[in-house]
Amino acid sequence: MKSRVLYYIRHGETDWNVAGRLQGSRDTPLNAVGRRQAAACAAILRELLARDGHAPGDFTHVASPLMRARQTAEIMRAALDLAPGDYRVDARLCEIGFGEWEGLTLREVRARSPQALAARERDKWDFVPPGGESYAQVAVRMRAWYAALEDDAVVVAHGGTARALIAVLGVAPPAKAPSIEIGQGIVYRFADGGMSRYG
């Protein structure tokens, strides 16, 4: 795969994030904090791009189709003086699916399915929640997405897809990637086999 420079932003906070609910494919909107985080990411991104001699419009902009990612992308683009809706959407960037666990907290999952949750904690990479998908499965679609990129890009997506990408790009091994914290209000720069964090 040809190496690309990616500026990767996890969507801003939602009320489900605050409650600790597994969102997955559920279409939850940003809350007020999440909207402020999106604007903050735009300011960080503008500074990073200027440092590297680029303008925001020099990059392809792409987002997950889920509402929280699209809202983040549109707030960022408006703050960067770009047309808010003029970006690509790619379904391969959707969050990891939690299946029957979506909408639940980990405490609720533990009460319902303690053995399944224990299995997940032993092997987060290959574990598949009932009706959901594993990080290994997400990595397949993230690898295909990355291989199809024709340009460097600004990406707005999710924590789970970031962790899968970390493994795909060799930043961390698959066994460790699912436990890496991916924060909100932060810009991650993927380049030359490494990942830097700003914010």
Catalytic site residues?
Answer: 11, 95
Q: What secondary structure letter does DSSP report for 91?
A: G
**Contacts of 117 by beta carbon, 8 Å cutoff, 6+ apart:** 106, 109, 110
DSSP SS3 for 184:
coil
Report residue 4 CA to chain centroid gap: 17
Handedness of CA 39, 40, 45, 47 (dihedral sign): positive
CB 67 within 8 A of CB 158: no
Q: What secondary structure letter does DSSP report for 14?
A: B
Phi, psi (rounded to 5 degrees) for 189? -110, 115
